[in-house]
Structure 1
Amino acid sequence: MRHRRDAHRTPRAHWLLLALFIGTLASMLGIQGFARHGTGPARTPAPDGPVEETAVSPGDGLGGPVLDLSGPAPQGRGLPARTVALTFDDGPDPRWTPAILDVLRRHRAQATFFVVGSRVLEHPELVRRIRQDGHQLGIHTFSHCDLTAVPTWRRRIEVSLSQSALAAATGATSSLLRPPYSSTPAALTAPAYTTYRELASQGYLTVLADIDSRDWTRPGADAIVRAATPAGTDGAVVLFHDSGGDRSQTVAAVDQLLDVLDARGYRLVTLSDGLRLPSDVTTHPADTATRLRGQALLATYRISSTLTWTLTAFLVPLTVLTLLRAVVVTVIARRHWRLADRRHKVADRRRRSSAGFRPPVSVIIPAYNEAVGIADTVRSMVANDYLDLEVIVVDDGSTDGTADIVEQLGLPEVVVVRQANQGKPAALNHGIAVASADVLVLVDGDTVFEPDTVRHAVQPLCDPAIGAVAGNTKVGNRQGLLGRWQHIEYVQGFNLDRRMYDMLQCMPTVPGAIGAFRREALESVGGVSEDTLAEDTDLTMALCRAGWRVVYAEQARAWTEAPATLSALWRQRYRWSYGTMQAMWKHRHAVVERGAAGRFGRRALPYLPMFQVLLPMLAPVIDLMALYGLLFADGGLVLTSYAGFLAVQFVTTAYAFHLDRERFGPLWTLPLQQIVYRQVMYLVVIQSVVSAVLGSRLRWHKLARTGSAGSALETSTPVGPA
């Protein structure tokens, strides 16, 4: 509620940097997903299945599996008699490609490998070994897509990226291309023929096969050998696969086939040697531009691969940590509820026997331009069932007649104090100085109390070790999606955590809407500090470090007006988040202190940055990884995991509503809260962190009020057990 105009404009450049970072990260993940998970399955058309009308007939001159379609008349070339060119598709593979290379080396045979560009980026050393062993390289597209099923621009990208990857690995490019899902000339369709003509205009020779071993069906090594053996003395281009699955049968079949062919006097050659093509026709040194593109592509792939692996490695422990937190907080909250129930019963017996703790109480309300709701706030204080009560309204330079409204109420228990605008901490300290009681209840100017709130708030102070009591803040304007989302957050997020903090004796915040304090405790820390924007958190941490216990009184309910628009919500949470970071930094030395201060420092301070700063900072990255998994990996697993996470959130939230005696109606908005509201809160934290790192000064923001907290109290009907 501070209103001094001593801060400069919040920097906007970091939003551009954030957008650039998220965009770059998304691009990296997209590259990795496209390269690693976009590769199609290894298979060829079934020879006995339906085949479309062929584009050409044997009489048109298509006489072999190596197609030169660049001229007006198509040409197909085949291998001479007793000559076999073994070809391997879909590699390189770190397990099966070396095994096949070892078999070829033992038999002193040469072959041609049609490599997938994305796998070249993964294993460039294998591509270099293929070439060093004297074998030939061709391209098999970048992602093993069906070239006949994609548009022209995608085909160009597929072959261009493949050539760049090949240039990065070997310094050379190839004009040999085998389209994925192609087989023999007999399976050539009209759409495929049209596509191959288009590729021929770019300088590519399309390589089909005379014999398709169909090793990808894994029928057994013997069956593969029978299918791959040429008839009589015919020459043949034989199709195998060295990647795309378990290729142990392929390795064994190649070993057996080479023995068979050697016994029958066959030569094992590369395609260029078998067709007697000069090497510079099929293999070309990469020009400088292609090589640079290839190196850039390889570097990008390696960075994206490292980034993806790192994020995946972090994703599992972060997910486990989040779920573990939900379970632990819920279990502790249940224990707290049981203990609190016993305390309430004891307090009720004491109250009925007139032996209860009933010290004089001063309620202090700092107010700045609260004309809309200040009357409801003051009336709810006076209407409390607490007898020895004074209400002090400190008008902090309001310009809307706030103080006049209070004075016109004519309530003898209410004192109005006016001061020039100095900010909320100064108004609170002024009210503390004026107050006559030693037990003080600090209240925001937009808050409405229930009739028994003051009594429940001050009861824990009967213990002289307790210096402050945090009340139970309720959202008054919970209509609409935004109101319901904040209502869920207050009940599930704030109050569950406060129960845990109470049990662990490390309460970091007494909310400004409702808090009871011992005057002695406030004086021991010098009153309310102006050092941070979260004066309530700063004050509470100071009390904990001074050795005072701070507890939670869930029955001390106060109804407050939450922001009604996204822009107002953003400003409020930005201030909260930024101020909390300031308070954590200010009290960081509590981590190494002894006694109660050390207990607070080693319990609350690690928890706050972990779950209120670090995890929200990483949340957009986690969401990107989920989208990555949905698009490129196991989408079913991602959806199942999200459903499980949502189920845990729902159960946790429902239990928090049960503890707070709230109706379950708003829970239907929980899935939308996770998708929309959660993202806004994450961006708020990111902006706060960036502002803190840049050393930006942030001003206080005054929210527009509608006075809806009072009407919400009148219509509220708690349900469930007390």
Structure 2
Amino acid sequence: MAAGGSDSDRRRAKAALFLACCGLVGIAPHWLPPGRSLVPAITLATLLGGYSLRTVLLQAFRRSGSDTPPPPLSSAAPPSAVDVVVAARDEQAVIARLVERIAALRWPEGLLTLWVVDDGSDDRTPELLAELQGRHPFLRVLRRPRDAGGGKSGALNLVLQQLGGRWMLVLDADADLQSDVLERLVPWAEAGGWAAVQLRKAVANAQTNLLTSAQAMEMAFDAMIQEGRLANGGVAELRGNGQLLSREALLKVGGFNEDTVTDDLDLSFRFLLEGLPIGVLWDPPVQEEAVLTLPALWRQRQRWAEGGLQRFFDYGPGLVSGRLTFSQKLDLTCFFLLQYVLPVVASADLVGTVFTRTAPTMWPFSIVALALSGLAIATGCRRPSEGPPLPAMNPFSAGLGILYLVHWFVVIPWVTLKMALLPKKLVWVKTLHLGEDSGSQDPEHNEEQADGEPEFAAET
């Protein structure tokens, strides 16, 4: 699935229109009389805050479907074949460890295959994979040139046509799984009738520094919100690493989109529009490395922001059509306003404050959004969970989590401005995985090695 230059131009035009509308909404209240300038923000804070509070708090007191033990494997229903798929580029630090972890999974022999797509690696990844194939018959290796195009989506599409299993488990090269994950995940997916299931993402190196600890909080926050949205009739989304996909459903939507910045977010919307449900499973989690430095985080989050906004531009007409229920449309509207509109409007509000020399007007909306985010972080991190321990909640850690989320108020407006003004150059520059050295890596080496462009279709 690819788009030409005209599609890129349409995205730029939509980004420019979105930026202009948000700018007008952020600046317009400064022209109102002082007694009315806060009315728009208070109204939004009340409406969206109420919806968000319902999403977070009701789930805190409600037993989630993901906490229900999955049905046991039964001889009457033989286990399904599973293909684990990894797109690997320059993964010499972690690829051998990943293969051994997959070998340790409990699943009937002959029903588990690991496919690794060596996407033009320049390091020792090809040699290591050749050695591992000699020890592990379940390992299959495909290779393609470094300039083959399509990024991670292209690599996954290469292997998709060769798969024979009912389920496809997509992992990043640094993923860590519990040995019983398939015994719990696959029956749960089949019993629930899910077309895809996203495992909760847990940060393996959360104790390294404050930044990795904050990312661990964010992952718990994200899973908590996803479950709440789904339970209220809303939408759940895929997160790349640890996503179980029905091969039949994936083929139905045309495979992975090779003209997107984030394959997982794009696929989430295509599943949604085809009526293919996505579930979220809290336990067991999939573990992954968090980035260690602010420059690496900045580059990663630019890609996430661009991919997230791009999918709304690409699939907007379908999202407002009769293909979605009212609850799904309401959920997506609230999510879009909080995740993308609020940061851009808040930035425009600051610009209006400077030029009109009046007080900010959007602060009630921003404060309510951040306060509810802090509540969700605290609720998620206090929830019983498997995998690495979640950060302990106290006033300092809760404050750190809220302060950390403020980075979206910088990333979203900056990325929107870039999308509106600059032509898109599609590249795939991967996040560096260091395996056992991830807790002591050189900050200069932790940055995604790029020319300043956001990562294209790499792991999220």
C-alpha displacement at 1:465, in angstroms? 4.3
Aligned pairs (5 A) from 1:163-174: none
TM score, norm. by length of structure 1: 0.50
| 3-state SS in 2 of match to 1:474 | strand
Higher RCO, Cα 8 Å, sep 6+:
2
AA aligned opposite 2:128: I
C-alpha displacement at 1:524, in angstroms? 0.5
C-alpha displacement at 1:574, in angstroms? 0.7
Please tell me whether Structure 1 or Structure 2 has the larger radius of gyration of its CA atoms. 1
Mapped partners of 1:657, 1:502: distance in 2: 19
Mapped partners of 1:376, 1:671: distance in 2: 36
Report Cα offsets for 1:330-384 as digits up to 9, x if no partner.
134336644333x41xx35x33x65566211010011111222222222222211
In the alignment, which residue of structure 2 is the partner of 1:655? 379
Matched, 1:612 2:324: no
Mapped partners of 1:431, 1:535: distance in 2: 15
In the alignment, which residue of structure 1 is the partner of 2:144? 419
Report Cα offsets for 1:145-197 as digits up to 9, x if no partner.
xxxxxxxxxxxxxxxxxxxxxxxxxxxxxxxxxxxxxxxxxxxxxxxxxxxxx
Report Cα offsets for 1:227-253 as digits up to 9, x if no partner.
xxxxxxxxxxxxxxxxxxxxxxxxxxx
Distance verdict in 2 for CA 1:678–1:462, change over 3 Å: closer
C-alpha displacement at 1:432, in angstroms? 1.6
Determine if contact 1:311/1:625 at 8 Å carries over to the other structure. no
Mapped partners of 1:600, 1:650: distance in 2: 25
| 3-state SS in 2 of match to 1:466 | coil
Determine if contact 1:590/1:602 at 8 Å carries over to the other structure. no
Distance verdict in 2 for CA 1:575–1:660, change over 3 Å: farther
C-alpha displacement at 1:565, in angstroms? 1.2
Matched, 1:450 2:178: yes
Which of these residues, 410, 416, 430, is aligned with residue 158 of structure 2? 430
Which of these residues, 476, 479, 482, is aligned with residue 211 of structure 2? 482
C-alpha displacement at 1:386, in angstroms? 2.1
| 3-state SS in 2 of match to 1:445 | coil
Which of these residues, 582, 603, 609, is aligned with residue 310 of structure 2? 582
Matched, 1:573 2:301: yes
Mapped partners of 1:389, 1:412: distance in 2: 10
Alignment size in residue pairs: 402
Which of these residues, 384, 387, 390, is aligned with residue 113 of structure 2? 390
In the alignment, which residue of structure 2 is the partner of 1:374? 95
AA aligned opposite 1:317: T
Matched, 1:530 2:258: yes
C-alpha displacement at 1:303, in angstroms? 9.8
| 3-state SS in 2 of match to 1:587 | helix
| 3-state SS in 2 of match to 1:399 | coil
Distance verdict in 2 for CA 1:475–1:609, change over 3 Å: same
In the alignment, which residue of structure 1 is the partner of 2:290? 562
Matched, 1:333 2:37: no
Matched, 1:499 2:210: no
Report Cα offsets for 1:226-283 as digits up to 9, x if no partner.
xxxxxxxxxxxxxxxxxxxxxxxxxxxxxxxxxxxxxxxxxxxxxxxxxxxxxxxxxx
Report Cα offsets for 1:31-63 as digits up to 9, x if no partner.
xxxxxxxxxxxxxxxxxxxxxxxxxxxxxxxxx
AA aligned opposite 1:405: L
| 3-state SS in 2 of match to 1:460 | helix
Distance verdict in 2 for CA 1:431–1:556, change over 3 Å: farther
Which of these residues, 28, 38, 63, is aligned with residue 312 of structure 1? 38
Distance verdict in 2 for CA 1:646–1:558, change over 3 Å: same
Determine if contact 1:521/1:548 at 8 Å carries over to the other structure. yes
Report Cα offsets for 1:627-684 as digits up to 9, x if no partner.
9xxx999xxxx99x97x98775544322212335254526533313433x23322111
Which of these residues, 85, 89, 102, is aligned with residue 364 of structure 1? 85
Mapped partners of 1:674, 1:418: distance in 2: 43
| 3-state SS in 2 of match to 1:593 | coil
AA aligned opposite 1:608: F
AA aligned opposite 2:257: S
Mapped partners of 1:413, 1:503: distance in 2: 38
| 3-state SS in 1 of match to 2:308 | helix
Mapped partners of 1:564, 1:587: distance in 2: 34
C-alpha displacement at 1:497, in angstroms? 2.0
| 3-state SS in 2 of match to 1:687 | helix
Mapped partners of 2:37, 2:44: distance in 1: 10
Determine if contact 2:30/2:353 at 8 Å carries over to the other structure. no
Mapped partners of 1:432, 1:603: distance in 2: 34
| 3-state SS in 2 of match to 1:528 | coil
AA aligned opposite 2:381: F
In the alignment, which residue of structure 2 is the partner of 1:108? none
Mapped partners of 1:694, 1:554: distance in 2: 40
Distance verdict in 2 for CA 1:355–1:308, change over 3 Å: farther
Determine if contact 2:236/2:280 at 8 Å carries over to the other structure. no
Mapped partners of 1:303, 1:363: distance in 2: 52
